[in-house]
């Protein structure tokens, strides 16, 4: 059974077709990279997979279950998590408080405000353990708006990991980072559990080729190529349409 199956998915915005009959399957534990030039439909695809947008046609299956019409929160409860191109942190809260909120959201008990969470020792232990695991305890007490952009991207990834997802959608996690920060984020992605399925949009071809098991290439809303790293490297259409595009 596929972790994720996309069948003839399309999305129209008025008279503009952002995606047209896109189909592919991702195996459990696979690292699938989605590449393509600006306007190819990559983020629109992620919006359809996460439920942020409704499909105009087609079907999305998650571990054999049709999730095409499910809202984002139900997909999240089924194990689908996502990061965004723009960091999605609460800027005035500390890094630790952001992680606490993400962990609290996975709790099936009644919602409690941050003030009440301060008394939950297990929640604090789990949040601090996550930050320690990823080497970010030094910034735990700093407001999210005060840390570097690269650190914010790393915290975004930790927040997604707090959901313990089965399928993780990473939307350009290295965008805007320095070379050293890219190395750090790539290392974090590589160290994620091997049974976790990852779909990742990436513009940096070195990053894409370093992380991918398979690559899906989009252009003008259509799937134009799919395969392993060697096949995509040698595909003349990909070279002409994407790899040669600045």
Query: How many independent structural domains does the chain possess?
Result: 2
Q: For residue 203, with 0-12 CB atoms within 10 Å meaning exposed, 13-18 middle and 19 or more buried, which class applies?
A: middle
Q: Is 228 among the domain residues?
A: yes
130 vs 3: CA distance, rounded Å = 25
Q: What sections of the chain are H helices per DSSP?
A: 42-50, 72-77, 95-105, 114-117, 121-133, 149-162, 179-190, 205-211, 229-233, 236-238
In contact, 87 and 156? CB cutoff 8 Å: yes
Looking at the fold, whether 13 and 126 belong to one and the same domain comes out as no
Query: What CATH number does the domain containing 45 carry?
Result: 3.40.50.300
Output the CA torsion sign for 204, 205, 211, 217.
positive
Domain that holds residue 158: 89-164
111 and 172 inside one domain: no
Residue 124: the pLDDT is 87
Given 109, 132, 164, the domain boundary residue is 164
pLDDT in tens, the chain (246 residues): 999 999 999 999 988 999 999 999 999 999 999 999 988 999 999 999 999 999 999 999 999 999 999 999 999 999 999 988 777 789 999 999 999 888 887 665 544 555 555 557 888 888 999 999 889 999 999 999 999 988 999 999 888 888 889 999 999 999 889 999 999 899 999 999 999 999 999 988 889 999 999 999 999 999 999 999 999 999 998 888 855 544
Q: Is residue 5 situated within a structural domain?
A: yes
Q: How many alpha carbons lie under 13 Å from residue 32 in its C-beta half-sphere?
A: 27
Task: State residue 207's pLDDT score.
Answer: 92
Q: Tell me whether residue 84 is in a domain.
A: no
pLDDT score, position 119: 53
Same domain, 42 and 101: no
Specify whether 43 is located in the same domain as 4. Answer: yes
pTM for the model: 0.87
Instruction: Answer with the one of 141, 164, 187 that is the final residue of a domain.
Output: 164
Query: Would you state the structure tokens that stand for residue 25, as one six-digit string?
Result: 């399957």
The reply to whether 120 falls in a domain is yes
Let me know whether 37 and 133 are in one domain. no
User: What's the chain's length in residues?
Assistant: 246
């Amino acid at each position: 059974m596929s972790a994720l199956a996309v069948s003839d998915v399309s999305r129209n915005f008025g008279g503009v077709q952002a995606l047209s009959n896109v189909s592919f399957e991702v195996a459990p534990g696979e690292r699938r990279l989605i590449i393509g030039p600006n306007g190819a439909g990559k983020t629109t695809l992620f919006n359809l997979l996460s439920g942020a947008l409704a499909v105009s046609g087609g079907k999305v299956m998650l571990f054999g279950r049709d999730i095409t019409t499910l809202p984002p929160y139900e997909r999240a409860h089924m194990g689908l998590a996502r990061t965004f191109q723009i960091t999605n942190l609460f800027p005035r809260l500390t890094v630790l408080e952001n992680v606490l909120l993400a962990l609290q959201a996975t709790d099936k008990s009644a919602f409690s405000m941050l003030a009440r969470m301060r008394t939950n020792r297990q929640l604090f232990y789990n949040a601090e353990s996550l930050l320690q695991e990823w080497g970010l305890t030094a910034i735990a007490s700093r407001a999210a708006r005060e840390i570097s952009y690269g650190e914010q991207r790393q915290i975004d990834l930790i927040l997604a990991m707090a959901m313990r997802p089965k399928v993780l959608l990473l939307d350009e996690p290295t965008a805007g980072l320095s070379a050293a920060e890219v190395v750090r984020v790539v290392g974090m992605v590589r160290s994620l559990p091997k049974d976790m399925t990852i779909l990742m949009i990436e513009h940096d071809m070195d990053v894409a080729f370093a992380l991918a098991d398979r690559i899906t290439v989009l252009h003008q809303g259509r799937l134009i190529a799919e395969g392993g790293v060697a096949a995509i490297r040698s595909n003349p259409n990909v070279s002409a349409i994407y790899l040669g595009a600045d």
